[in-house]
Amino acid sequence: MTYTRVSTRAAVTNPAPVLMTAEELMTNPVPNMRTELVGGRLQVCEPPGYRHGDVAARVLVAIGTHLANERRNLGWSKLRGRLLAAETGFTLQRNPDTVRAPDVAYVRAERVPTEDLPGYAEFAPDLVVEVRSPSDRTGMVLAKVADWLNAGTMVVWTIDPALRVARVYRADGGESMLDATESLSGEDVLPGLVIPLSDLFD
């Protein structure tokens, strides 16, 4: 009888990585860094630069202004939905856990939690905005878009200030690229919202 010897060296020298949970990410922050969890593995990035923050803030203000004007003009008692600022974490998957944090997020009123959440929301926003930094690789950006759409986000905007373009990804598989002469639209998620890209870049 012939025996085959199986080496265990790889198992000894390269143990399986210990995966992190969403709860561990919440309670063990990395100081002065941006963190996300992808398939249980921690991803750490440098804080974004000035231009990134400027564009993200302009998007946030534009959506917030639209929501406030709509509420006032239509006489509604509350806003159409809730707008969330940069780095708000959303748990998109469990076992292993994935937690993503967009630059801007919007959640329809009927999906807003009725109680205060001590941790990350366990759902995907309806609209997600990702502002691309010069160091962001295309594959990394597309992976984020896929995670959002797979978790239930209806529309994802990726905005590239350096190239002065934006891309729109939709849950139905539709995709559009816009240049600086065109405008982002809220489509069915935020009816009536129009944001000229020139307002974000100039």
**pTM of the prediction?**
0.89
CB 141 within 8 A of CB 165: no
**pLDDT score recorded for residue 23:** 96
Could you give phi then psi for residue 65, rounded to 5 degrees?
-65, -40
**pLDDT score recorded for residue 1:** 43
Write out the chain's pLDDT in tens, 202 residues. 443 343 444 445 666 678 999 999 999 888 888 899 999 999 998 899 999 999 999 999 999 999 999 999 999 999 999 999 988 999 999 999 999 999 999 999 999 998 888 899 999 999 999 999 988 999 999 999 999 999 999 999 999 999 999 999 999 999 999 999 999 999 999 999 999 999 999 9
Helices (H), the chain: 9-13, 22-27, 50-74, 138-151, 197-201
Q: Which of 128, 133, 137, 183 is nearest to 163 (CA)?
A: 133
| Neighbouring C-beta atoms of residue 125, cutoff 10 Å | 29
| Coarse DSSP helix, strand, coil percentages of the chain, rounded to the nearest 5 percent | 30, 25, 45
**pLDDT score recorded for residue 135:** 86
CB 57 within 8 A of CB 84: no
The whole-angstrom separation of Cα 177 and Cα 56 is 18
- Own/partner contacts of 174-181, CB < 8 Å, gap of 24 or more, are none
Alpha-carbon 146 to chain mean position: 10
